[in-house]
Amino acid sequence: MKNNNISEFKSRQDFIEMSEDDFRSIRSVQALIDRELPNALDKFYDQVRRTPKARGFFSSETQIEHAKQAQQAHWQRISGARFDGEYVEKVREIGSVHARIGLDPSLYIDGYGILLSHLVHSVIDDILSGGGFLSRISPRIARNLGDVIGSLCKAVLLEIGLTVSSYMDDINEARLAMQAEQDHRAREDREAIEIIGSALTALANGDLTYRIEDDRIPERLDVLKQHFNQTAETLELSLGKIALNAEDIVSTADGIRQGAENLSRRSEQQAATQEEMSAALSQITQRVAKTAEETRKANEMVNMTRGDAEHAGGVVQGTIEAISAIETSSREIAGIIGIINDIALQTNILALNAGVEAARAGTVGRGFAVVASEVRALAQRSADAGREISALINLSGGQVKSGVALVHEAGDALRRIMSQVQQINDVVSTISASTQQQSASISQLNSAMGGLEQATQKNAAVAEESASAVRNLVATSDELTQMVTGFTLSTRDVRRSRFQREKPRLALIRTE
């Protein structure tokens, strides 16, 4: 490559007819060029500082100073006409640097214009002043000033041409390399798109086990390969878990559905049973209420009976007193004469009969009226039956005593009856109070049963709604399962997920 560069440079020298004479002409003004070069470079870099486009290639004054020193050393090669292989490589390196940093060749050429203009003016001024370096050279060189300036221009333009040529070569090489890289990338991109397209097609068809294993994927696109494989892996695991969850949901929901349906059926049966119980309680309530009413009436009748018994006791007591009076009267009548004795005898007999009737009557005592009537009738006939009264009075004495004893016994019996009636009254009162309390309790129980019946009916409705919701859940889970089965999943991953997720099933409460 180095020999080719030197050969090309020689060809350029030959083309512009640059010979050893030109080299001698340039070296003849070397001292002048070396003296004026710092001033020319200062002028050039002052212009660089004022031009934003040029100033942008330098980050600091230190970098400008470094460039100035390097350029001064390079120009000393030109002033010394040292156009050897090292010079050629240096020029091409300058062109490559310009290409690498993106320096516009126009700025480079304009800069050399500033330098060349300053140097040419310096040479001409030195000749015109007559006391400069040129006054000490040979007259032939002085006469050939045009040759000196021409040789200097040839050297500068030759370097510019070589630099720009190197710049363009690097630009073209970079462009070709870029084009080749772009073509290579385009081929890689097409292959990658084809590979990824196949993977996406498999994914679109539901095959979640597809992975990109092709090594033709370039390293710069390997992230797409990794992302796709990770995405497919994540989707496969996620859908596998979804499939397992769907199975669990279907199984659990089916158990819940059966339990809810059984609960609904049992709730309906319970509601019917409670309705029958409520009806039975209503009947019991009515019967208890009727019993309470009958007990109240019985209590009233017992009270009436007790009153009658008390009245009968009074009647018996009056009877005892009457019999006692009859006994006294009998004794008095015994002393009455004639018919009075007979009448007294009959009266005593009737009184005895009246006592018997009173004993037989018990609590009723209605016989007293009949006996009294008979006594009054006998009293009317006493005048006719006086004879019989005397005999009867004698007989009635013993009978009166017997009647008194019987009346006393009847009184005792009536007192016992009154005591028993009182006990019956107490028992019936207690039964009446208990029956009323029982009626109130059954009424409350009936009301509570009605509320329980309504709650049971509501529970039955809720159970039916729950069963319907669970049936919908089962249907939705079945649809989800059908959707998941449309994807191709790795059974190994699914089994692993199942093993990792295995847990006790939900224990449903059986209602049967």
Tokens 């710069």 sit on residue: 220
The 3-class SS string of 288-353 reads: HHHHHHHHHHHHHHHHHHHHHHHHHHHHHHHHHHHHHHHHHHHHHHCCCCHHHHHHHHHHHHHHHH
Dist. CA 475–CA 485, nearest whole Å: 15
Class of the CATH domain delimited by 271-490 = mainly alpha
> Domain 2-188 is of which CATH architecture?
Orthogonal Bundle (1.10)
What local confidence, expressed as pLDDT, does residue 499 receive? 42
Q: Is the pLDDT of residue 52 over 60?
A: yes
Provide the pLDDT for residue 2. 55
DSSP secondary structure letter of residue 5: H
Which of the listed ranges 28-37, 318-327, 354-363 does the model predict with the highest average pLDDT? 28-37
d(CA 81, CA 22): 9
Closest C-alpha among 299, 303, 296 to residue 439: 296
Domain segments of the chain: what residues? 2-188, 271-490
Pick the closest to residue 484 from 257, 252, 249 (CA basis): 249
pLDDT of residue 213: 80
pLDDT digits (tens, 9 = 90+) for 37-47: 888 888 888 88
For residues 141 and 134, the answer to whether their CB atoms sit within 8 Å is yes
Q: What is the pLDDT of residues 475-511, one digit of tens each?
A: 777 777 776 676 676 654 554 444 444 444 444 434 4
Task: Note the pLDDT tens digit of each residue in 213-259.
Answer: 877 777 777 787 788 888 888 887 887 777 777 777 777 777 777 77
* Tens digit of each residue's pLDDT (9 = 90 or more) over 352-399: 666 666 666 666 655 665 665 566 566 556 655 655 655 666 666 676
CA distance 460 to 269: 9
- Phi-psi bin for 105: left (phi > 0), alpha (psi -120 to 50), beta? alpha
Percentage above 90 pLDDT, the chain? 0
